[in-house]
Structure 1
C-alpha cells in the first residue's frame, strides 16, 4: 500500500502545485508540502483496506507544520482529479480557519518559540545562573567587609 500511496501522492502533488516536496512520514504516510502557499497535505492509510486519510494544514514561520485543520477519508482507487478536488476543499477549509498567533503576519513571536528555534535558551539560563552567583558572592563579600568594620 505504501508504494501505491506514494505514487498517488506524486500524481496529486503535480496536479495541485507546481512547486512541492513529497516525503514519507515515520508513520508510513506521505506528506506533500507546498512551501510557496504555506500549506501541507498528508495521505495516510485509514481503517479500511482501500481507504486513505487526507489531512490538510498550514506551514508556520520557520517551516514547522501546524496541526491538521481538516481531514477526510477517501478511497485510494479514486481518480486523481477527484482526490485533487477533495484536497482543494480541505485546503480551503484550512485557509478559512483562524490563523494561530505565531502564523499571523506582524504578530510578535512567542518567547518560547524563538528560544526553541534559535537555541538561545540555554545560553540565557547560564547567564542568569552566573548573575545570581555573582550577586550572592558580592553580598557575602559585603557582609564580611561590614563585619570587619564593626569589630
Structure 2
C-alpha cells in the first residue's frame, strides 16, 4: 500500500505544485509539503481497499505543521486529475479557515460610543471628568530625630556598661 501511496503522491505533487517535498510520515502515510505556499497534504491508508485518507493543513513558522484543517476519504483508483481537484478544494478550505472573515456580530453592532449616544448618554469623551481627590501636599523635609524608646535603650546599655566597669575596677581602685 505504501508504494501505491508514494507513487500517487508523487504524481499529485507534480500536478499541484512545482516546488514540493514528498516524504513518509510515521503512520505509514505520505506527506506532500509545499513550502512556497505554506501548505501540506497527507495521504494515509485506511481500512478500505484502494482508499486513502486525504488531509490538508498549513505550515507554521519554523517549518512545523499545524493540525489538519480538513480531511476526506478518497478512492485511489480515480485519476490524478480528480485527486488534484479534491486536493485543491481541501487547500481552499484551509486557506479560507486561515483568513479571518469579519463576523456578522461585529459588522452589525454599532460602536460603544454610538450605542451610548442612542441611549441618551453622552460618550466618555463628551462627559465631564470626575473630580478626583486633591493631591496630598508635599511633606516638608524633616530632620532625623531619635525617639524616646531609642534613648531608653541607649541609657540602659550605658548603665549596664557603667555597672560592669564600676564592679570590675571601682571597688579596689586598680
Answer yes or no: same fold by TM over 0.5: yes
What SS does structure 2 have at the residue aligned with 1:15?
A: helix
Q: Distance in 2 between matches of 1:79 and 1:54?
A: 15
Q: Distance in 1 between matches of 2:24 and 2:98?
A: 28
Q: TM-score, normalised by structure 2?
A: 0.56
Structure number with greater Rg is 2
1:4 — aligned with what? 4
2:57 — aligned with what? 57
Once the 2 structures are TM-superposed, how far is the Cα of residue 99 of structure 1 from its aligned partner? 6.0
Structure with the bigger percentage of helix: 1
What SS does structure 2 have at the residue aligned with 1:97?
A: helix
Q: Distance in 2 between matches of 1:90 and 1:27?
A: 21
Q: Distance in 1 between matches of 2:43 and 2:27?
A: 11
Once the 2 structures are TM-superposed, how far is the Cα of residue 7 of structure 1 from its aligned partner? 0.2
Once the 2 structures are TM-superposed, how far is the Cα of residue 98 of structure 1 from its aligned partner? 3.4
How big is each residue's C-alpha offset from its partner over 1:5-46, in whole Å with a ceiling of 9 and x where there is no partner? 100000000000000000001110000000000000000011
Q: Which runs of 5+ in 2 are unaligned?
A: 101-174
Q: Which has the higher contact order (CA 8 A, sep 6+)?
A: 1
Post-superposition, which runs of at least 4 consecutive aligned residues in structure 1 deviate over 6 A? none
Q: Distance in 2 between matches of 1:70 and 1:29?
A: 16
Q: Distance in 1 between matches of 2:99 and 2:24?
A: 26
Q: Which runs of 5+ in 1 are unaligned?
A: 101-151
1:30 — aligned with what? 30
